[in-house]
């Protein structure tokens, strides 16, 4: 078993810098497209353990990455909390009847993962028998899940989320508490089933000012991380557009901090300090550069990563669906070659 990724998460010595890619199982891979077609759509794919396991392993086989990430979506537990979820081809996820009132929050349940999302547990069990690299489980972080539940879809300004936060902080906090309980129980179930590390995706926390992050997102995230620490696996926390929040983010209790590409990795490490490892941070669209220029950027990121407690190479956010696969293959190979100790 290649455990280099887990060792880097813990800040231990590694023979080379491990690499995986956010959204590594996805539409840029023709192999993925085929299985998605066979499943009859994205949500069906998430809920069919044999096929979800197959697309989870594809990037390990095709790219040679050092970790696999469970194939699912951050909105799966939101559906289990009682919302009606749909993925439309052009608009992305849609959650019907967005949460704006106390009675809507009261109607939400804290789901039992084994009962209401058995396919997640089953997918993980299949994968642990099959994989020769560690398996990462994941969840949306409370704030990011709340944005989808309150907006009902993706948003640019998050006006409904911030309006609820500022005008009805009591309702907002009841919602966040329910989501936090769900996240803890969902990730604990993934770990019990065999996930060897977990990542919390806080994709939209970067839209908050540091003050609002500290008041409306961080307390819930910290309490989730504190609970999950008891499970004993590395915890990765990723915020897209994290630059202005790193001073607060480093106090979240996670083992690894994900860094997007807008912040220089050396500067990020100076702010994060030596207590956490880092993960990142190539611009996903840099994969459209010529190969030699990608390699220059890889070398620079690897060099900067040396200053951290540990470094896991990744993109600064999810891979774009139009990315040429051969560039991704050579990226992974370059990370391994240039970082060999």
What is the binding site for ligand CP3 (CB under 6 A)? 22-27, 36, 42, 69, 71-75, 92-93, 138, 154, 201, 203, 240, 318
* Comparison of 161 and 240: residue with beta carbon closer to ligand CP3: 240
* Comparison of 295 and 319: residue with beta carbon closer to ligand CP3: 319
* Comparison of 33 and 168: residue with beta carbon closer to ligand CP3: 33
Mark residue 82 as left, alpha or beta (left: phi above 0; alpha: psi -120 to 50; beta: remaining).
Answer: left
| 266 is annotated as an active-site residue | no
| 73 is annotated as an active-site residue | yes
**Which residue is catalytic, options 23, 128, 130, 214?**
23
Min separation Cβ 290 and ligand CP3, Å: 25
**What are the C-alpha distances in Å from 198 to residues 29, 180, 228, 271, 318?**
24, 15, 9, 23, 16
User: Could you tell me the two tokens for 90?
Assistant: 């052009």
Terminal-residue alpha carbon distance, the chain: 20
| 213 is annotated as an active-site residue | no
**Which residue is catalytic, options 148, 186, 213, 237?**
148
Q: With contact defined as beta carbons under 8 Å apart, do 120 and 56 qualify?
A: no
Min separation Cβ 147 and ligand CP3, Å: 9
The whole-angstrom separation of Cα 238 and Cα 245 is: 11
* Comparison of 178 and 317: residue with beta carbon closer to ligand CP3: 317
Min separation Cβ 245 and ligand CP3, Å: 16
**Which residue is catalytic, options 3, 10, 16, 73?**
73
Min separation Cβ 23 and ligand CP3, Å: 4
* Comparison of 26 and 305: residue with beta carbon closer to ligand CP3: 26
Min separation Cβ 170 and ligand CP3, Å: 26
Min separation Cβ 274 and ligand CP3, Å: 27
* Comparison of 42 and 288: residue with beta carbon closer to ligand CP3: 42
Catalytic (active-site) positions: 23, 27, 36, 73, 148
């Amino acid at each position: 078993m290649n455990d280099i990724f887990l060792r880097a998460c813990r800040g231990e010595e590694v023979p080379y810098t491990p690499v995986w890619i956010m959204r590594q199982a996805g539409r840029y891979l023709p192999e993925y497209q085929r299985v998605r077609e066979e499943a009859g759509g994205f949500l069906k794919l998430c809920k069919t353990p044999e096929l979800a396991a197959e697309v989870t392993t594809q990037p390990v086989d095709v790219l040679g990455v050092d970790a696999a990430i469970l194939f699912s979506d951050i909105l799966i537990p939101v559906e289990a909390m009682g919302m009606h979820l749909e993925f439309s081809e052009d608009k992305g996820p849609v959650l019907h009847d967005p949460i704006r009132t106390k009675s809507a929050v009261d109607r939400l349940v804290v789901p039992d993962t084994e009962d209401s999302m058995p396919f997640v547990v089953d997918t993980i069990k299949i994968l642990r028998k099959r994989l020769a690299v560690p398996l990462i489980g994941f969840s949306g972080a409370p704030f990011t899940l709340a944005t989808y539940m309150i907006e009902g879809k993706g948003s640019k300004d998050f006006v409904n989320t911030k309006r609820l936060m500022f005008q009805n902080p009591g309702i907002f906090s009841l919602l966040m508490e329910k989501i936090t309980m769900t996240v803890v129980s969902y990730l604990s179930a993934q770990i019990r089933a065999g996930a060897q590390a977990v990542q919390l995706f806080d994709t939209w926390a970067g839209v908050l000012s540091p003050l609002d992050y500290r008041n409306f997102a961080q307390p819930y995230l910290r309490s989730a991380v504190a609970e999950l620490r008891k499970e004993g696996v590395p915890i990765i926390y990723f915020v897209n557009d994290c630059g202005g929040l790193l001073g607060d983010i480093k106090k979240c209790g996670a083992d690894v901090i994900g860094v997007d590409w807008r912040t220089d990795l050396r500067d990020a490490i100076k702010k994060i300090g030596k207590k956490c490892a880092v993960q990142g941070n190539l611009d996903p669209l840099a994969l459209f550069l010529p190969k030699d220029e990608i390699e220059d950027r890889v070398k620079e990121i690897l060099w900067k990563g040396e200053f951290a407690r540990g470094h896991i190479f990744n993109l600064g956010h999810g891979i774009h669906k139009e990315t040429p696969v051969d560039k991704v293959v050579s990226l992974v190979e370059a990370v391994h070659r240039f970082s060999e100790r």
